[in-house]
């Protein structure tokens, strides 16, 4: 699998660095979903939901693009 191109500031991450970011995001998402999140109070639940939503958005952007299917 080819890792996505990630640029932070003006530095492009290597493939290994990009893989590390992708894996870290996946693991954080799993931790938020399987654990207690960021707390059981209203603020913690709201922050957990917001982080999950943003992580899913970023991970979707990181997915390799599939070529269009022709009928």
CB within 8 A of 66, min separation 6: which ones?
none
Residue 1, pLDDT > 70, answer no
Q: Domain limits of the chain? A: 7-62
For residues 6 and 9, give the distance between their C-alpha atoms in angstroms, rounded to a whole number: 10
- Give per-residue pLDDT as tens, 12-58: 999 999 999 999 999 999 999 988 889 999 999 999 999 999 999 99
- The size of the chain, in residues, is 71
Judge whether residue 66 has pLDDT over 80.
Answer: no
- Residue with the two structure tokens 């070529």: 67
pTM: 0.80
| pLDDT of the residue at 68 | 67
Tokens of 18: 């990009």
């Amino acid at each position: 699998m080819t890792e996505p191109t990630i640029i932070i500031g003006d530095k492009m991450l290597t493939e290994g660095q990009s893989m590390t970011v992708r894996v870290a995001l996946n693991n954080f998402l799993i931790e938020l979903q399987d654990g207690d999140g960021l707390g059981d109070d209203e603020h913690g639940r709201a922050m957990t939901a917001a982080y999950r939503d943003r992580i899913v958005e970023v991970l979707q952007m990181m997915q390799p693009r599939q070529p269009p299917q022709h009928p």
